[in-house]
Amino acid sequence: MIIVMKQGASEGQVAEVVQRVEATGFRPFINPGVERKVIALLGEVNIDKVQLLDAFATMDGVERVQLISEPYKLASRHTHPDPLKITLGLQPDARPVTIGGQSLTVMAGPCSVESEAQIIGIAQAVSAAGAGLLRGGAFKPRSSPHSFQGLGLEGLKYLAAARAATGLPVVTEVLDAHDLEIVCRYADVLQIGARNMQNFALLRYVGETRHPVLLKRGPGSKVADFLLAAEYILAGGNHQVMLCERGIITFEDSTRYTTDINAVPVLKRQTHLPVVIDPSHATGDAEYVPAVALAGIAAGADGLIVEVHQDPAHALSDGKQSLKPERFSTLMDQLRRLAPVVDRTLESAAPGQAGVESAGRVPVTA
């Protein structure tokens, strides 16, 4: 159930509703950042909901009360009717960019951070092409324990050096709750990988931080489970969650996974959280990445996360699906042409400049 307060309802009226919710045994959750306060009732209480609905509907300052059938209350668009906009770039030397609403935001970089020179070089290349954020894994989830596991703390330090050199905010994966504090110290955005989508303990810990989160969909998870995973983070009080479609397992084996393009409009309808497409992991092949990237944006995604490497043949992970910087730059040009068609503005850092005060909105060249 959600209680939608009237626009301009007083603090006292909101407090009275909250008190009454608490008295029923539910946990009230006030959604911040919306003009009209919306109070969600969380928890399981054995009570006649229809009677309760009437009781709340007659309280001062209440506009309407609505029963929500979805199990994800906080991720539901009912609770937060407007699309969420998130500012990414909380570290002091990051140049913040927005995701959500009209904005189209691109995160790009290598699968793994391999060396300081590698990550700074790629950061400069993707920044020059107009990317808004730098991606790069320092803690890597690999199918084999014998594969490269990432540089760990050293990798985080190299990411920070790349941010200092370009101003690009950094998105990097946190694999384990033990590393959360150290990853938060260096990252602007915490990535939760596909394999950890239902690591509920990790989701709870990340929910306690105030770092924006990029939550990747588990390849075997339904949209409803994806939204429930986001709900864990939101329930901790961390409202800044982005959802990333990165391909699901189907019978098709001509690509690494199958991009669930349908999930984009489905998610946009069900939730206010920004949706990001990862065409790199979804296809597993650089040849298909640009087409699927553009398809994702045409379907309504708010952003992309794309793997880029100067020398894909020698990449320590995911080289086959990594674009060379030149191809990435062409993709950005294509996105600039697509953006106005889908009523979007491409958010990007001004090329090659570090420490610039605000995010540049690169003029659309249609």
| Interface contacts to ligand PEP, rule CB under 6 A | 111, 137, 141, 193-195, 216, 246, 281
Q: Which does 73 bind (CB under 5 to 8 A by kind): ligand PEP, Mn ion, none?
A: none
- Cα–Cα–Cα angle for 95, 97, 103, rounded to 5 degrees: 160
Cα–Cα distance for residue pair 317/314, rounded to 1 Å: 9
Q: Which does 188 bind (CB under 5 to 8 A by kind): Mn ion, ligand PEP, none?
A: none
Q: Which does 319 bind (CB under 5 to 8 A by kind): Mn ion, ligand PEP, none?
A: none
Q: Which does 204 bind (CB under 5 to 8 A by kind): ligand PEP, Mn ion, none?
A: none
Name the residue number minimizing CB distance to Mn ion. 111
Least distance (Å) between residue 312 CB and Mn ion: 12
Cα–Cα distance for residue pair 92/59, rounded to 1 Å: 45
Q: Which is nearer to Mn ion, 266 or 306 (CB)?
A: 306
* Structure tokens, 6: 């009237």
Q: Which does 167 bind (CB under 5 to 8 A by kind): ligand PEP, Mn ion, none?
A: none
Least distance (Å) between residue 226 CB and Mn ion: 19
> What length does the chain have?
366
Least distance (Å) between residue 61 CB and ligand PEP: 44
Q: Is the dihedral of CA 254, 259, 260, 265 positive or negative?
A: negative
Least distance (Å) between residue 282 CB and ligand PEP: 9
Least distance (Å) between residue 173 CB and ligand PEP: 6
Least distance (Å) between residue 259 CB and ligand PEP: 12
40 forms bridges with which residues in the sheet?
2, 29
Least distance (Å) between residue 194 CB and ligand PEP: 4
- Cα–Cα–Cα angle for 347, 350, 351, rounded to 5 degrees: 120
Q: By C-alpha distance, which of 317, 321, 320, 312 is closest to 144? A: 317
Least distance (Å) between residue 76 CB and Mn ion: 31
Give residue 311's identity as a one-letter amino acid code.
D
Query: For 9, phi and psi rounded to 5 degrees?
Result: -60, 140
Cα–Cα distance for residue pair 216/114, rounded to 1 Å: 22
Other CB atoms closer than 10 Å to residue 43's CB: what's the count?
Answer: 11
116-129 vs 153-166: helix crossing angle, rounded to 10: 40
Q: Which does 39 bind (CB under 5 to 8 A by kind): Mn ion, ligand PEP, none?
A: none
Q: Which is nearer to Mn ion, 167 or 296 (CB)?
A: 296
Q: Which is nearer to ligand PEP, 13 or 258 (CB)?
A: 258
Q: Which is nearer to ligand PEP, 194 or 223 (CB)?
A: 194
- Cα–Cα–Cα angle for 141, 144, 149, rounded to 5 degrees: 45
Q: Which is nearer to ligand PEP, 93 or 285 (CB)?
A: 285
Q: Which is nearer to Mn ion, 156 or 346 (CB)?
A: 156
Q: Which is nearer to ligand PEP, 277 or 354 (CB)?
A: 277
Q: Which is nearer to ligand PEP, 17 or 206 (CB)?
A: 206
State the residues that interact with Mn ion by CB under 5 A. Answer: 111, 318
| Cα distances (Å, whole numbers) of residue 131 to 70, 221, 302, 347, 350 | 35, 29, 14, 8, 9
Q: Which does 194 bind (CB under 5 to 8 A by kind): Mn ion, ligand PEP, none?
A: ligand PEP
